[in-house]
Chain A
């Protein structure tokens, strides 16, 4: 049974202590590295622990402090990054055999911004291979374990990052979210996870899964910390054509403004009878009403189209994005008498079963004779979902749903049937299709004492109001419902 671990100091406090010289970045780092030594054997959060890199980062921060320079708003904060974010000279594998040992020759924009803000890169975290999955069981390097119960999954695909925060190793981690891959693990691990509006955070250097859906976002134990993490990495990037031409959103200032007068809609369609996750959402609604919000139920049945549409669009884009792994320029090569055979053998051996399934599904959905029926239709279904949200947001400022239909499940319990695993994304997919922001906030514990997250949805560029509502929920949620915990 997991026990509560000491809370982290807030990111702002850590940075302030380091910047003022009260504590060295090295000292902060050694806490994180100590925790890794203690827990990594049980949890397997990391594909690569980058202690030397972090020590060099820490030394640089401490030097700047000594020289009277400002290392930045995340000075000395140890950070873990999902292993699908390119880190120059540091192995980046997407938890796939096909990229085992690959060293990117460049940093993702998000990575540059974090290090530029004084953060210390502690390691690259485990994920479902190429971000495809909801449990991290699809990793080619073995799964990550949930700190709340090591016989259960941490969620996915960003399971390693979620577990690293939930296990008290790092106060801030980053993952990627395509259909729920930040939010669902956040919910299963009792921490905060944010998917920003599509285009708010640069995708340059994020190894692509589904280009029109992927976004990078933070994990933290509090809403304020997640907000700060997001502020640091967000904002226009000329290297990403889909990056919105806006500066980073300002979130911290309005966090404590409360929810008085806000219109909150509980999406009925995602509340199935008797589910503990649904009950948590209802309770969350009541809490917000007590805090002065106007809370109502709303039904948006079109959102249920989201899951089937997503499972056409995402694999279709993925099948194209993953074509480049052909054994020619980098990564695994399995030899053959000719290039075509070499390609097929390399990909046959280098990709795991879920990745292959999605590549096949995507290739089929785009192929001659099927494009209109599948991809074409799915892009129209996407429009239907977007319009349904637009209609709802005329009457509501934010929407509430469960983050995911179930709490952390035991290993192997959903691997027989791919569809069962896909259902984990039911509540998180619609906002991904619409490009809207969403956040998961830990709000309750299940009878088995497993964390339950509530999802707050807002319209595009509604991060500020969304985080306000999340902060309000956090303020009344039981302390025991959130991490960090020690397994």
Chain B
């Protein structure tokens, strides 16, 4: 494996692209492997950081319990929404056949 492939290989790129539902042709896969490797090399400092006693920060500020009351608010007009749909039928959004079952 070359230096630049050290961080991510074309096969891994294909796997990630499947997870992300991105269609990439072979050229793109190759280029992506190189570019992602460069980026991963750049961010490696983060991976190597000693964070023994450091908790992660998910939010800049420690706010808790932001809640709303269980009261109804107006919904959107169905026609307006379906008008934006790439394909609609019988008041629903239409998609081509689904290969997998819902997880």
Contact = CB atoms under 8 A, between A and B. Distances in A.
Nearest to B56: A379
Most buried by A among B24, B32, B46, B84: B46
A344 B23 CA distance: 5
Contact of B46 (A106, A199, A305): A305
Interface residues of A, number: 69
B35 to A, nearest CB: 6
A436 to B, nearest CB: 8
Given A105-B76, A364-B36, A348 B24 contact: yes
Nearest to B33: A360
Given A340-B21, A377-B49, A311 B43 contact: yes
B49 A242 contact: no
A199 B61 contact: yes
Interface in A379-418: 379-384, 386, 417-418
A212 B58 contact: yes
Interface string A447-477: 0000000000000100000000000000000
Contacts of A102: 84
A329 B84 contact: yes
B80 A333 contact: no
A323 B80 CA distance: 23
A338 B38 CA distance: 34
B99 interface: yes
Contacts of B56: 376, 379-380, 382-383
Contact of A351 (B19, B22, B93, B98): B22
B98 A343 contact: no
Nearest to A366: B19
Contacts, number: 175
Contact of B39 (A382, A419, A460): A419
B103 interface: no
B49 A212 contact: no
Interface in B7-56: 8, 12-13, 16-24, 28, 32, 35-36, 38-40, 42-47, 49, 51, 54-56
B36 A360 contact: yes
B94 to A, nearest CB: 9
Contacts of A340: 21, 98-100
A422 B38 CA distance: 12
A435 B20 contact: no
Contact of B51 (A241, A343, A377): A377
A357 B51 contact: no
Given A335-B96, A356-B22, A376-B56, A330 B84 contact: yes
A367 B19 contact: yes
Q: Which of B22, B58, B59, B100 has the largest number of chain A CB atoms within 10 A?
A: B22
A12 interface: no
Contact of A382 (B24, B57, B97): B57
B55 A380 contact: yes
In terms of DSSP, what is the predominant structure of the interface of chain B?
A: loop
Contacts of B97: 337-339
A339 B51 contact: no
A345 interface: yes
Contacts of B17: 344, 360
A347 interface: yes
A451 B87 CA distance: 49
A319 interface: yes
Contacts of B84: 102-103, 105, 329-330
A326 interface: yes
Given A331-B86, A333-B87, A377-B46, A105 B19 contact: no
Interface in A148-190: none
Nearest to B98: A339
A367 B15 CA distance: 10
Given A382-B57, A460-B61, A330 B22 contact: no
Interface string B70-103: 0000001100110011110000010111111000
Given A338-B97, A343-B21, A360 B61 contact: no
A281 interface: no
Nearest 8 pairs of A and B residues by beta carbon: A435-B60, A348-B23, A379-B56, A333-B86, A380-B51, A344-B23, A308-B43, A343-B21
Given A242-B63, A363-B20, 5 more contacts: A323-B21, A329-B86, A333-B87, A383-B54, A434-B60
17 contacts: A199-B60, A309-B43, A327-B86, A331-B86, A335-B96, A336-B96, A337-B96, A339-B96, A341-B96, A342-B95, A347-B21, A357-B32, A363-B16, A367-B16, A374-B46, A418-B35, A418-B39
Interface of A: 102-103, 105-106, 198-199, 212, 238, 241-242, 244-245, 305, 308-309, 311-312, 319, 323, 326-333, 335-345, 347-349, 351, 356-357, 359-361, 363-364, 367, 373-374, 376-384, 386, 417-419, 422, 434-435, 460
